[in-house]
Structure 1
Amino acid sequence: MNDFARDPVRADVIVVGGGFMGAATAFFLRTHGLSVILLERDLIGQAASGTNFGNVRRQGRYLPQLPLAHRSRDIWGRLPELIGEDVEFLPSGHLLVTTRSDDGARLEQYAVDCKAWGLDLTMMTGDQARAMFPMVGPEIHTVSYSPHDGHANPRLAAPAFGRAARRAGAHVVEQAPVLSITKDSTDFIAETADGRVYRAPMLQVSSGAWGRKMAALFGEDVPMAPQGPQMGVTEPMPYRVAPVIGSASSVTDEGVYLRQVKRGNIVFGGGRRSTADLETKRARLDPMNTLRQMPQLARLLPAIARLRVIRTWSGVEGYVQDSLPIMGPSERVSGLFYAFGFCGHGFQLGPGVGATMAELIATGHTDIPLEPFRVGRFQRNAANAAAYSPHA
């Protein structure tokens, strides 16, 4: 046994995975007075948390997820004073737009339904939207406007929380791949590739697309697959697109979105996703996806057709079968918690996930409803289906 194993590092909580969810949880655990070890295989925020689009939106979400999104939006508005850093959050508004009447009707119904969940949206016709936002394309005829949403820089957010956690006293360890996680009668034991051993009575898995493998170590399987969303950025043009603009189309190829940063570049994404490999930690970049995106983006913002695309990229993200994350306590192992599998829409939720998971771990409860995101929902659904099956 090496010296590291004989003298393990101990804390109240181990957080495995230093993406946005893990880094935010580590920071908020320190505000509850708990000691925490944050283990990241590479660098904080290097994976999906740093390669996503940067959307800070609430509209269009699964309705029971809105309490979590509201909590997160409140924290987004206080980040500089809370963590001491600016992550370029701009509450510039968010537009969901449609070109089809059936998609427009769906937007109208969502605007009615979300009021009971505390979200007020402004519905507009295409002409009304163009009077307020002249850059919107002529094909757009129904628009949902969320004025207090916006966007931020994903390359800054998770690392900022990681630094804030470290300043608050968290033991943040980067370039520390976790080779094994076990549990004895009192503690979880995590061993990293350099032979170091970490012990704590509580552990959170926040390892993104790799979360399924770690949950399976404790007998909880999740129907989740890795995929790579297609992102890109154009050359700059004069700044005039304040809100995020996204298509609410039910057609996959049309489901694109864009935002302009103050430097003038247009960041975009959406449409089809590519394949991703958990072993190589790489997502396949398909140039044809970019070509499919461009005419759809021009329907939202005609001016983009004149711009050159200067860079494209992807990242490895985990997509759960029902498009909802895994969040909350294990249903098999005491002291074990999960926050992974946010299906490409977790960036806005990051601060709220961290605050909620830290609250749950520190106090044993949270007022944020997590039942729809519990890890055991798939087993329960399978059991229910078998119970009512004529062949069971």
Structure 2
Amino acid sequence: MRPFVETLEGDPSLPGEVDIVVIGGGIVGCSAALRAAELGHRVALVEKGRIAGEQSSRNWGWVRRMGRDVAEYPLGIESLRIWDTLAQRLGHETGFRRSGIVYTAHTDAEMAWIEKVAADADRFGIGAQRLTRAQLAERFPGASLPARAGLFTEDDGRAEPSLAAPAIARGARVKGAKILTGCAVRSIETSAGAVSGVVTERGTIRCRSVILAGGAWSRLFLGNLGIDLPQLRVRGSVLRTAPLKGGPAHALGNGDFGIRPRLDGGYTISRRGRARVQITPDSFRLLTKFLPALRKNRGELALTVDRGMWDGLTTARRWADDAVTPFERCRVLDPEPREAELARTMRAVEAAFPAFKDARIAQKWGGIIDVTPDAVPVIGPAAQIPGLTLATGFSGHGFGIGPAAGQLAVELATGAAPLVDPTPFRADRFGTMPATAQAAE
């Protein structure tokens, strides 16, 4: 079942020429289109399905700085600043609220993790407050949280995935961006080795620059250009409840579950600490790059065989510009949620918060998360094709840092001063990504 998303109709006609084409209508792509249009660039946002149809509407809706890889902290800090004024800037509701986030620790490993997160937060000037068991009880009255300690960031918050990316796309349109939905980009054209246009199923758009924000589809798209981006897919399951009184006021990561208050009075709930990595042909191709992460996080990762294996075996990896592509055959990744996993998660929530014993589950859905070997995104130029900038591999963190990530991608694509140091996000940190073929001349 797909989560509800505010509908945004695409423009009826294809522009003949723009300065920048953004591929992908998730929150990163929409944010890139907004920033490019604000800077006066002619920009077209091209999405094969619908705006926020995939992970940008299927995530937890957390907007946080703490608990990230150290490389992401500056981007998280800048993104939170953008979120603060985004709704006012757009004239549309995003659901953003600085309502605070709490993590709890039960085990020795979790206690050590909280201490590391607290130290990282202190390093970047983020006010992370350590909570005793008694202080946790004060923050969550009536709850049963068998935790030894907690960590609280008052200024971190939440937003609504069903609202945010469509609101940003509307804002980009007001600034002059063309928004094209149901329009797959098939390939990139080059002239003298550099980007000169994109080929879509509806025709060609001439441009000097392309930003690829294709999420879980990015590896496949780049592979057709001969670029080997190390990226795998992780399957998640999420549910939301109907409006409910007596639940927590803060987003909470507790043991096996994560929970977030919603703007409508309900809660978004999912399991923590057990990501389902789809076993696909790419899992074997990329094993050496991902093996260190699998070993390091073996208690938090579970390999799963599902439809992803069949899709990986049957999906074309090469196609001509005039051929129907995988992006047209599957407009939206819409996996079934794992019912047993969500049932266990809900039982844990009910045990912690008695109010949820009467909760009505309004909806469940699945989603596909794009991950890199170090769980840090790739944001920066693709050396193989001048004019192509990557913004992908957000590893489940893209919603919260999306506004700043989109802005950074535009700055790197246009040569403007970047809002944060882009070095940690460079693509070549994984080694050479060979270009065995070139885009169409």
Give the TM-score normalised by structure 1: 0.88
Task: Identify the range of structure 1 (80-89 vs 354-363) with the bigger mean alpha-carbon deviation.
Answer: 354-363
Q: SS of the residue aligned with 1:296?
A: helix
2:124 aligned with 1:117, yes or no?
yes
Aligned-pair CA distance for 1:204: 0.6
Query: Match for residue 131 of structure 1?
Result: 138
Q: 1:26 to 1:262 in 2, by over 3 A?
A: closer
* Contact 2:195–2:385 (CA under 8 A) maintained in structure 1: no
Task: Identify the range of structure 1 (126-135 vs 298-307) with the bigger mean alpha-carbon deviation.
Answer: 298-307
2:165 aligned with 1:158, yes or no?
yes
Name the aligned partner's letter for residue 349 of structure 2: L
Query: Match for residue 319 of structure 1?
Result: 371
Name the aligned partner's letter for residue 355 of structure 1: Q
2:36 aligned with 1:18, yes or no?
no
Q: Deviations over 1:169-209 (max 9, x none)?
A: 01111110112223122543212223x11111111100100
Query: Match for residue 264 of structure 2?
Result: 263
Q: Deviations over 1:290-344 (max 9, x none)?
A: 1221233345534324423232101222122221111111122211101112111
Structure 1: gaps of 5 or more residues: 1-6, 383-392
* Identical positions, percent: 28
Structure 2: gaps of 5 or more residues: 1-13, 279-306, 312-325, 435-441
* Contact 2:188–2:195 (CA under 8 A) maintained in structure 1: no
Q: Distance in 2 between matches of 1:102 and 1:273?
A: 18
Query: Match for residue 189 of structure 1?
Result: 197
Q: SS of the residue aligned with 1:60?
A: coil
Task: Identify the range of structure 1 (198-207 vs 105-114) with the bigger mean alpha-carbon deviation.
Answer: 105-114
Query: Match for residue 348 of structure 2?
Result: 296
Name the aligned partner's letter for residue 198 of structure 2: A
Q: Distance in 2 between matches of 1:132 and 1:51?
A: 28
Q: Deviations over 1:69-91 (max 9, x none)?
A: 01000011001221111111111
Q: 1:301 to 1:374 in 2, by over 3 A?
A: farther
* Contact 2:127–2:154 (CA under 8 A) maintained in structure 1: no
2:229 aligned with 1:222, yes or no?
yes
2:221 aligned with 1:169, yes or no?
no
Task: Identify the range of structure 1 (96-105 vs 337-346) with the bigger mean alpha-carbon deviation.
Answer: 96-105
2:81 aligned with 1:79, yes or no?
no
Q: Distance in 2 between matches of 1:193 and 1:92?
A: 43
2:338 aligned with 1:337, yes or no?
no
Query: Match for residue 211 of structure 2?
Result: 204
Task: Identify the range of structure 1 (198-207 vs 262-271) with the bigger mean alpha-carbon deviation.
Answer: 262-271
Give the TM-score normalised by structure 2: 0.78
Aligned-pair CA distance for 1:262: 4.4
- The number of aligned residues is 369
Name the aligned partner's letter for residue 346 of structure 1: G
* Contact 2:72–2:376 (CA under 8 A) maintained in structure 1: no
Query: Match for residue 370 of structure 1?
Result: 422
Name the aligned partner's letter for residue 288 of structure 1: A
Aligned-pair CA distance for 1:238: 1.4
Q: 1:240 to 1:232 in 2, by over 3 A?
A: closer
Aligned-pair CA distance for 1:218: 3.9
Task: Identify the range of structure 1 (258-267 vs 21-30) with the bigger mean alpha-carbon deviation.
Answer: 258-267
2:103 aligned with 1:96, yes or no?
yes
Q: Distance in 1 between matches of 2:88 and 2:171?
A: 11
Task: Identify the range of structure 1 (335-344 vs 263-272) with the bigger mean alpha-carbon deviation.
Answer: 263-272
Select which of 23, 30, 35 maps to 2:37: 30
Name the aligned partner's letter for residue 189 of structure 1: G
Name the aligned partner's letter for residue 372 of structure 1: P
